[in-house]
């Protein structure tokens, strides 16, 4: 084959190969953009007995919840948005049950992850955090915000993204937490969470803490779920036994 002919075919191939390298690099960056994603825990002793600290990082949002290990009695929760810059973990608080005045403020921690352990500096809690669900993935992984419901066959939509009153769900590989709060007033309305599974259209919650009623701890709730047009369709019966059909949208 003539040299000019070879060059004619070689240039497009080189260009295509270059694109593939770029796309591969971008994909890899996306895959490693959030190394902390998932659930982390630390069990410590306190004056009131043993308590469990649970950190959830999902998408751009996080929560830090404390509850007693024996009874599951709720102690506190706080959270909001987060991002990594090098080893710096920068957080912005949207809710805090211990100190509502922190809502709207930010803090910087230092994070060092090694395998299934995580060390954080800049927080009062010492010790290592242990991974709870590394490598686990479900169709529901991510942060979600309540966006509407269906009642008597009629759909009503709500834009909670721009409103101060929010109800958010944070899901990692096998951990979930819902939080209802107001970013404008700092008022906290409630939270609950624990472990979950999402398989074959069935979403199951195992409640490990519930701020409104400790008696709900240990309950197992089954719902139907479906991802349709990017929304999470969530239906079944609420914790009070009432029929429900909710819509949740992914929170950016």
Termini Cα distance of the chain: 54
Q: Would you say 181 and 188 are in contact if contact means Cβ atoms under 8 Å apart? A: yes
What pLDDT was estimated at residue 6?
43
Smallest CA-to-CA distance from 82 within 33, 146, 131 is with 33
Do the domains 142-250 and 38-131 match in fold? yes
The CATH number of the structural domain formed by 38-131 is 2.40.128.280
Q: What is the DSSP letter of 216?
A: G
Sign of CA dihedral 120, 182, 220, 45: positive
Range in 63-67, 78-82, 199-203, 212-216 with the lowest mean pLDDT:
212-216
At residue 2 the predicted structure's pLDDT band, cuts being 50, 70 and 90, is low
How far from the centroid of its chain's Cα atoms is residue 33's Cα? 15
Report the distance separating Cα 106 and Cα 102, nearest Å: 8
Condensed to tens digits (0 to 9), the pLDDT of residues 139-183 reads 999 999 999 999 888 888 887 777 899 999 999 999 999 999 999
Domain range summary for the chain, segments of one domain joined by +: 38-131, 142-250
The token duo for 70 is 């024996």
Q: What is the mean pLDDT of residues 121-125?
A: 94
Smallest CA-to-CA distance from 150 within 220, 226, 201 is with 226
What pLDDT was estimated at residue 153?
82
Distances (CA, A) of 24 to 12, 31, 33, 72, 84: 18, 10, 14, 45, 22
Per DSSP, the three-state class of 164 is coil
The CATH number of the structural domain formed by 142-250 is 2.40.128.280
Range in 83-97, 170-184, 233-247 with the lowest mean pLDDT:
233-247
Read off the pTM: 0.84
At residue 24 the predicted structure's pLDDT band, cuts being 50, 70 and 90, is very low
């Amino acid at each position: 084959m003539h040299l000019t002919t070879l060059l004619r075919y070689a240039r497009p191939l080189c260009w295509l190969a270059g694109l593939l390298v770029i796309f591969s690099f971008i994909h890899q960056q996306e895959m490693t953009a959030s190394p902390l994603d998932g659930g982390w825990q630390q069990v410590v002793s306190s004056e009131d007995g043993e308590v469990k600290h649970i950190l959830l990082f999902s998408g751009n949002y996080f929560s830090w919840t404390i509850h007693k290990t024996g009874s599951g009695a709720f102690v506190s929760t706080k959270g909001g948005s987060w991002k990594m810059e090098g080893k710096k973990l920068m957080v912005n608080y949207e809710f805090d049950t211990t100190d509502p005045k922190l809502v709207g403020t930010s803090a910087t921690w230092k994070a060092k992850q090694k395998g299934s352990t995580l060390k954080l500096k800049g927080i009062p809690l010492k010790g290592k955090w242990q991974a709870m669900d590394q490598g686990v993935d479900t169709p529901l992984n991510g942060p979600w915000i309540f966006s509407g419901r269906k009642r008597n066959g009629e759909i009503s939509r709500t834009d909670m993204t721009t409103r101060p009153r929010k109800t958010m769900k944070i899901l990692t590989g096998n951990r979930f937490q819902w939080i209802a709060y107001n970013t404008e007033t700092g008022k906290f309305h409630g939270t609950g969470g624990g472990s979950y599974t999402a398989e074959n259209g069935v979403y199951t919650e195992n409640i490990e803490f519930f701020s409104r009623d400790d008696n709900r701890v240990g309950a197992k709730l089954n719902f139907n779920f479906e991802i349709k047009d990017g929304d999470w369709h969530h239906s079944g019966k609420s914790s009070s036994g009432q029929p429900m059909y909710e819509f949740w949208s992914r929170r950016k």
